[in-house]
Structure 1
């Protein structure tokens, strides 16, 4: 391994400096921030390229020693939903090329999402820098689950197919991601490397439940069975399924559902329309008094929210990976999740929690009832979850795996360049060997 690599992380819509929980701010923001942090701690230089989406953003911000965040001008300096960003990506690619062309040469580019892959593809063509890509979500998978609700242009699929063929390595986040790349995009299995997402052991760990509830200042009783839903508030996350499950619970279960997330600190339906829809779902299900929307919460308070809960629930229609279940397990609480995507990899059914069918509130309620009735089992599952994430999913371990991918990519590139050099030289003759002697 090169003692020091200069690495460009491209993440066009997900800045490592953005607060999580908004419509377009979630796991990818955390991924880029944590990978950049750990790469720098390992002695490497990291430049993150993200789109300038606010007029007050400086051209460059030092996130921490070894990590610079460049705000690339592309389109108006305002928020644009990622589904509408494709037209400004050529401008992003041109600006990124100029930035990298006139600075110290980067060893490798790590693209995050398909639009960042377009930029990496241009950099490889113009500057000869190899790139790897983490898609974070695949267009054909999204289309299978969302159908007409998918707001991305059809061109996304063609772009992804091109990237699958062109990238020096494809990073799959879980076994399902690897299978989807092969099944839907005919990816070369030998060029796929599986590297999961992670959690920060310095941020997330167990706390006393009653103490956490007290510190949050929430109106929660010691006997309340608290169910936590935390993350982006968008329809595909299946929060309506969690709300409807409350109606299937016995009255003997003192359930309280806390919903953390949104585009502001207050649960404002005008600012976050999904809150309004979910409130209506709760009214129709007759459980409005059991559902509490808390709005966006700062990252430093999330550990207490996890620890205050009896169980963490996430039942999306599909999920490429999902970081919040790792954080919940790190805090020692069991997780009930949809048996989809990366959740099938991170949650061990019957050991660290339960896997249930998506869009099946009755099945979810059955698992919740079982955990309420068996607190010792819930405690054991929480402890098993802690062991699992600490051994497999720390960001330090994830970053070491990524560095192995970078190293293999660079070694393969050097071998290919050497082979090309040899084949373009005149073949030696017997006379040449005699002359050498």
Structure 2
């Protein structure tokens, strides 16, 4: 059954250059899910906020997929932590677009602010919605505490969305458990569908060829970290782990840190580089830690292939796509024992799991890793088999489409009260205010 599907991704456009401040896993997820759904025969529109004046309203992106740029807030970059006040305009505009161009069979919201928009459209037009949160406010608050700059009402909004969504896609067992225990999600509405990797982007490449192309010595021990350069990604832990590898075990290894807000590693554009550089110097690893800057998707496979292992030790990780990409290149992953990494990495088989804040343990695992060259090769082969069996975007899209079909069979009730954005106040804790906020849009 062909469906007309709207994906909402408020701050993460599938057209964005990856590796920047707010460009990461969600952008990849939305882009690949949209393309794969289109290949299954669905018509897909991706709604994302216009952040440049020159962007056209509608971009015919690829066969069966359009990107719709929504005028909500200034047509410039705005940190996602500051986007909440613009979601009412986003919702109103999208409702008008649907009335003019035709309604959708289903909406798939990505992130909690996109969920607010989807709930508004459902209340106005009766369109059911599915949501993938990608990150949960309560989990973020637990780990980041005062560093979490999202407004406090995020938690109330997420709780409401959990109750109102027609289905919720959890990205891993830990995500499902958090939704149930922290938000009281109905297990009957929860479906576990992981993220994926693109077989047309990532495949095994000879390590010899990759190192030769990138200019690294063939006999060098090389580790890589790829992704956004922000504190919660725990790159400082990886640097300290390399320091312990040298001090405690007498083993030198080079750590490549790939990512940032520019192609050239510039601390002015990517402030985290300055902090991480200081840590590398404190650890006596200044010459062994190399910041490459941002790299294109086409080049990433060479970095994965050149490395003996991907090191990813975030404080928490809702899922994590870079481990899948590394595994698709036949590269083992040494990752933090958190969130989705506990699901994608099989400890001792496709890599190792380590505590997120224990660089000494990471150093010990790295020493164990390098002590057994055959184990490295065996882990790489196991990683390749696992990722191709469980985590392709084709499989992910088929599983998501199956959730859509379940939702499409359910009766959708259209409420008839006031729009949530006209409610005064922000905390949404008062019962009467909360009830109004949950109301539908008036036509």
User: TM-score under structure 2 normalisation?
Assistant: 0.92
1:274 aligned residue: 272
Q: CA deviation at 1:150?
A: 0.3
The answer on 1:201 being equivalent to 2:168 is no
Match of 2:31 in 1: 33
Bigger radius of gyration = 1
Match of 1:351 in 2: 349
Pick the aligned partner of 2:188 from 187, 190, 214. 190
Kindly provide the CA deviation profile for residues 250-279 of structure 1, in whole angstroms up to 9, marking residues without a partner as x.
Answer: 374230000000000000000000011111
Q: Deviations over 1:154-193 (max 9, x none)?
A: 0000100110000000110000000000110011111101
Residue 369 of structure 1 is matched in structure 2 by: 367
Q: Please give the secondary structure, in 1, of the residue aligned with 2:130.
A: strand
Could you tell me which of 99, 105, 123 is aligned with 1:101? Answer: 99
**Do the aligned residues in 1 keep the contact of 2:308 with 2:332 (CA within 8 Å)?**
yes
Partner of 1:287: 285
In the alignment, structure 1 residue 247 sits paired with structure 2 residue 253: no
**Pairs aligned (count):** 412
Q: Which moved more, 1:9-18 or 1:207-216?
A: 207-216
Residues in 2 aligned to 1:168 and 1:124: alpha-carbon distance in whole angstroms = 10
3-state SS of paired residue (1:289) = coil
Rounded to whole Å, the distance in 1 between the matches of 2:398 and 2:411 is: 20
How far apart in 2 are the matches of 1:192 and 1:14? 23
Q: Tell me by how many angstroms 1:320 deviates.
A: 0.3
Distance (Å, rounded) in 1 between the aligned partners of 2:87 and 2:121: 13
Deviation at 1:284, TM superposition (A): 1.3
Q: How does 1:71-82 map to 2 (within 5 A)?
A: 71-82=69-80
Write out per-residue CA displacement over residues 220-267 of structure 1, whole angstroms, 9 at most, x where no aligned residue.
211111000000000000000001111111374230000000000000
Matched position secondary structure for 1:29: helix
Q: Indicate the residue corresponding to 1:124 in structure 2.
A: 122
Unaligned segments of structure 2, at least 5 residues: 415-443
Shift of the alpha carbon at 1:63? 1.1
> Which residue of 2 is the match for residue 225 of structure 1?
221
**Which residue does the alignment assign to 2:88?**
90
C-alpha separation between the residues in 1 aligned to 2:312 and 2:285? 18
Aligned residues of 1:139 and 1:156 also touching (Cα < 8 A) = yes
Which residue matches 2:437? none
The CA distance in 2 between the partners of 1:378 and 1:17, in whole Å, is 36
Partners of 2:132 and 2:327 lie apart in 1 by 24
Correspondences of 1:90-169 after superposition (within 5 Å)? 90-169=88-167
Q: Secondary structure at the match of 1:288?
A: coil
Q: Which runs of 5+ in 1 are unaligned?
A: 418-437
2:436 match = none
Partners of 1:370 and 1:97 in 2: how far apart? 57
Whether contact under 8 Å (2:212, 2:218) holds in the other structure is: no
In the alignment, which of 311, 317, 337 is matched to residue 315 of structure 2? 317
Which residue does the alignment assign to 2:410? 412
Q: Distance in 2 between matches of 1:407 and 1:249?
A: 51
CA-atom RMSD in angstroms: 1.1
Equivalent residue in structure 1 for 2:233, among 232, 237, 240: 237
Among 173, 176, 199, which residue is 1:175 paired with?
173
Partner deviation per Cα, 1:177-219 (whole Å, 9 max, x = no partner): 0000011001111110111000011111111101011112x3x
- SS of residue paired to 2:378: helix
Counterparts in 2 of 1:285 and 1:254: CA distance versus 1, 3 Å: closer
The 8 Å contact of residues 124 and 131 in structure 1, kept in 2 or not, is answered as yes
Q: Distance in 2 between matches of 1:157 and 1:356?
A: 29
- Distance (Å, rounded) in 1 between the aligned partners of 2:158 and 2:279: 36
The ranges of structure 1 where at least 4 consecutive aligned residues each deviate by more than 4 angstroms after the TM superposition are: none
State the alpha-carbon separation in 1 of the partners of residues 365 and 221 from structure 2: 13
| Paired position in structure 2 for 1:431 | none
Write the distance in 2 (CA, Å) between the matches of 1:119 and 1:28: 17
CA distance in 2, matches of 1:367, 1:61: 47
How far did 1:317 drift? 0.3
Paired residues of 1:223 and 1:254 also in contact (CA < 8 A): no
Residue 368 of structure 1 deviates from its aligned partner by: 1.0
| CA displacement, residues 286-341 of structure 1 (integer Å, 9 cap, x when unaligned) | 11000000000011111111000001010000000000000000100110000000
Rounded Cα–Cα distance in structure 2 between residues aligned with 1:63 and 1:232? 25
The whole-number CA distance in structure 2 between the counterparts of 1:126 and 1:317 is: 39
- Could you tell me how far apart the structure 2 residues matched to 1:370 and 1:240 are? 21
